Amino acid sequence: MGAAASVEQWPPHDRELWERKGHLVVRANGAVVDLSPLTWYEREAVSDGHVVTALRRDLVELVLDDCSSLTRALLSVVAASCPNLRILRLDGCGDVGVDGLLAAAGGCPRLETLSCAHWGQLTSRSLASLHTAAPRLTSLDVSRAANVAALPGEPLASLTALSVAGCVRLAGVEALAGAAHLRALDVSGCATLADLSPLRHLQGRARERNSQLQSLISRPFSTRHLADLASLDASRCPGLDDVALFLIATHCPGLRRLAARGCGRLTSVPADLAALETLDVGGCGALAEVPALGDAVFVDVSDCGALRDVDSRGPLETLDVSGTSLAAAALSRLKRPERLRALRCASSDVADGALARLLPTCAALEALDLSGSDRLTDHGLSAVAACHGLLDLDVSGCPGLSDVGMIQRPAAVTIVASMIVLGASCTRLRRLNVANCAGLSGRALAALHCPDLEALDAAGLPLADDALDDVLAGAPRLRVLGLRGCGGLTDDALSAIADRCPSLVELDVANCGFAELPVDFGDRLATLEKCNLSGNEFAVLVRSVAKLHCRDEDLDLSDNPWTRPPADVVDEGMDAVNDHFDDIFGANDESDRWPPIGYPATEFGLSKFRDAGRLGLHRDAIQAAPRSPFSMILRRRHDFSRPPRPD
């Protein structure tokens, strides 16, 4: 769409999105326009005209993340129409161009927050131009801008929050000397940032005395310029070692939130950081010491195998001790377990006894991860029933669980089905992962009564069609379903999924032995965005698959025995190919099948696959399998731009 002289001249190409979801994207009487509630394919279809219809003079916040069809002309209209705009988010909208970004910043004199992550066009020079264009800017996010190699000094002077996460070419942070008001800094994933301080001559001298370190500070920049820093994320930053962290602790007395995930050179956290409210050092394999944290709300020491002890006596809300031998000791020292909201003890030493003592006191617990716990049995799972407000539960890979559990009562020991107890008590459960629990069966899952369940991973369980149908009937709001490796299912299970799950967004049925897709598979699962059909026995693809709203990388059709038509048949064109497969699979007057995709795309030129955007999906193509829907359960990153929850 080309530029227009005025807002009134922008014709909305299609008002359907706003008619259906206008109440979601336009809020606060028009002061906020946020397109994030739209699905990815709806955001990709949003044009300049769509957005212009929602612009007004009193607009305060505009969020256009991942709207890849927008152009520079839109930002010119924003600059002319929204003088009161304070928050602008354009993550993944690099096509609007740096010139458009500067035009919007210059036309919105009250702009305070700007986010333009995933912009390859951004450079150090363009960042410098923001000083003139947006003098009131206080929060800037340029994460994953691969061409930013240095930070300009002047534009950072007024910033209170800065994110340069994933700027892989960023080599130094000397410009932070001018950022006197900076309180939140994210330099995670800056692989070439060799020294955070930057005090290169101090590397390797972590055990020097404080007075000696002070005398070696000879550069004009040091961490003393960041005395007001309250939040720092230096995850996967090779420059963060014991020396750099010691200097940060010395010169940043106000630091309250620290993330240093995956910093392999870090061996200890200084005692000066004992007042931290948030500590995230997961994956620091060499870490051996952390101080006793008195005010901590969030603690993540997962996969810190060398850590000898963790002692947090604060009002903890989130604790992650996965992959360590510290779980039992850490749980026994919790002073205020009634504040705990998320607990992750995956692959740890936690056992039934510790859970039975702790969980009845955790009235606020919402997320619990016990995956890979060899010592967890039905007795420990029954203790989970005390957490009536539980929303997320992950017990995948626990071999001690079975269909029959045990509850200890005052007068007797009663044998009951553990899943019945769990379903009867934790009725608010939203996400459940029981994948690869060899002792569980479909009968146990069918006993659940969780009408609000949105995500279920039952991969590897011996499910039958009738048990799956019972499970799906009791979960009408299911959006994510994982059945990878459930070999007891038949093709009828696919029809049951399509019937019972009209809102399904993610489906993983890899390696289930399915042979035939329902003809209307894509019609009945029109909301599906991720689908893994790999490793089955599909020989032909149904036409309705083209209606799925899956990106190519999110539709996995690999490792199926797609039948390949003879070359001479392909040469005769589409009609001959259709007749060929009608002879093999039976004539079909409605043409509901597509030719299989087991041959290179170059052999089949103008096909219906090209029209549907599926030309590249053939057996020889390397398809990346979708992530497990539960791979990130309880791994939500702490929002370092926000203060901890008040008491």
- Tell me how far apart the alpha carbons of residues 105 and 87 are, in angstroms, rounded to a whole number: 10
Instruction: Give residue 376's pLDDT band: very low, low, confident or very high (50, 70, 90).
Output: confident
- Tell me how far apart the alpha carbons of residues 20 and 41 are, in angstroms, rounded to a whole number: 15
Higher per-residue confidence, 557 vs 492 = 492
Residue 297 has pLDDT above 80, yes or no: yes
The tokens for 225 are 């310029």
DSSP line for 11-23: --S--HHHHHHHH
Amino acid identity of residue 147, one-letter, is N
- Tell me how far apart the alpha carbons of residues 431 and 390 are, in angstroms, rounded to a whole number: 9
Q: What is the pLDDT of residue 223?
A: 47
Q: Please give the backbone phi and psi of residue 150, each rounded to the nearest 5 degrees, phi first.
A: -150, 155
Q: What is the pLDDT of residue 202?
A: 31
Evaluate whether 141 touches 163 at the Cβ level (below 8 Å). Answer: yes
CA distances from 354 to 277, 333, 360, 406 (A): 25, 11, 11, 16
Q: What is the pLDDT of residue 497?
A: 95
CA 526 to centroid of chain Cα atoms: 23
Residues in the chain: 647
Q: What is the pLDDT of residue 381?
A: 82
- Tell me how far apart the alpha carbons of residues 107 and 280 are, in angstroms, rounded to a whole number: 39
Evaluate whether 534 touches 510 at the Cβ level (below 8 Å). Answer: yes
Q: What is the pLDDT of residue 405?
A: 47
- Tell me how far apart the alpha carbons of residues 608 and 600 are, in angstroms, rounded to a whole number: 15
Question: Where does 143-198 have alpha helices with state H?
Answer: none
For 386, residues 6+ apart whose C-beta sits below 8 A from its C-beta are: 359, 360, 362, 425
CB count in 10 Å sphere of residue 250: 16
For 536, residues 6+ apart whose C-beta sits below 8 A from its C-beta are: 509, 510, 511, 512, 513, 514, 515, 559, 560
Residues of the chain with pLDDT > 90, as a percent, come to 26
Higher per-residue confidence, 302 vs 622 = 302
**Which residues share a beta bridge with 33?**
26, 62
* 140-144, 206-210, 519-523, 590-594: range with highest mean pLDDT: 140-144
Show the domains of the chain with their CATH numbers. 11-148 (3.80.10.10), 157-198+225-315 (3.80.10), 454-589 (3.80.10)
Residue 460 has pLDDT above 90, yes or no: yes
Count the helices and strands in the chain (H runs, E runs). Answer: 20, 26
How does pLDDT run across 399-441, given as a tens digit for each residue? 888 876 433 333 333 334 466 667 677 888 999 999 998 888 8
The tokens for 278 are 């948030």
For 389, residues 6+ apart whose C-beta sits below 8 A from its C-beta are: 363, 364, 365, 366, 428
Q: What is the mean pLDDT of residues 362-380?
A: 89
Q: What is the pLDDT of residue 8?
A: 42
Q: What 3-state class would DSSP assign to 162? A: strand
Tokens 């206008």, residue located = 22
Q: Which of 149-158, 314-323, 412-421 bottoms out in mean pLDDT, i.e. has the lowest?
A: 412-421
Q: What is the pLDDT of residue 155?
A: 65
Residue 254 has pLDDT above 90, yes or no: no
**Which residues share a beta bridge with 259?**
233, 280
- Tell me how far apart the alpha carbons of residues 467 and 60 are, in angstroms, rounded to a whole number: 51
- Tell me how far apart the alpha carbons of residues 432 and 444 are, in angstroms, rounded to a whole number: 13
Q: What is the pLDDT of residue 318?
A: 93
Q: Which of 332-336, 423-427, 467-471, 599-603 bottoms out in mean pLDDT, i.e. has the lowest?
A: 599-603
How does pLDDT run across 46-60, given as a tens digit for each residue? 888 888 888 889 999
Evaluate whether 190 touches 166 at the Cβ level (below 8 Å). Answer: yes
pTM: 0.80
**Which residues share a beta bridge with 319?**
299, 343
Residue 198 has pLDDT above 50, yes or no: no
The tokens for 586 are 């039976």
Q: What is the pLDDT of residue 479?
A: 95
Instruction: Give residue 621's pLDDT band: very low, low, confident or very high (50, 70, 90).
Output: very low
Tokens 């032995």, residue located = 513
Instruction: Give residue 309's pLDDT band: very low, low, confident or very high (50, 70, 90).
Output: confident
- Tell me how far apart the alpha carbons of residues 465 and 483 are, in angstroms, rounded to a whole number: 12
Residue 636 has pLDDT above 60, yes or no: no
What mean pLDDT, rounded, does the chain reach? Answer: 77
Evaluate whether 426 touches 385 at the Cβ level (below 8 Å). Answer: yes
Task: Return the sign of the alpha-carbon dihedral for residues 370, 371, 372, 376.
Answer: positive
Instruction: Give residue 158's pLDDT band: very low, low, confident or very high (50, 70, 90).
Output: confident
User: Which of 201, 196, 197 has its CA nearest to residue 216?
Assistant: 201
Task: Return the sign of the alpha-carbon dihedral for residues 387, 334, 288, 264.
Answer: positive
Q: What is the pLDDT of residue 631?
A: 30
Higher per-residue confidence, 238 vs 491 = 491
Residue 108 has pLDDT above 60, yes or no: yes
- Tell me how far apart the alpha carbons of residues 234 and 498 are, in angstroms, rounded to a whole number: 45
The tokens for 399 are 């071999």
Q: What is the pLDDT of residue 219?
A: 32
Q: What is the pLDDT of residue 280?
A: 94
Q: What 3-state class would DSSP assign to 304? A: coil
Instruction: Give residue 594's pLDDT band: very low, low, confident or very high (50, 70, 90).
Output: low
Residue 267 has pLDDT above 80, yes or no: yes
Task: Tell whether omega for the bond before 629 is within 30 degrees of 0, i.e. cis.
Answer: no
Q: Which residues in 48-60 are b (16+ Cβ under 10 Å) and which e?
A: bbbbbbbbeeebe
Instruction: Give residue 622's pLDDT band: very low, low, confident or very high (50, 70, 90).
Output: very low
Evaluate whether 163 touches 143 at the Cβ level (below 8 Å). Answer: yes
User: DSSP E strands: which ranges in 191-252?
Assistant: 231-233
Give CA torsion, residues 307, 197, 215, 182, to 10 deg.
-110
Type and span of the H or E element at 555: strand 555-556
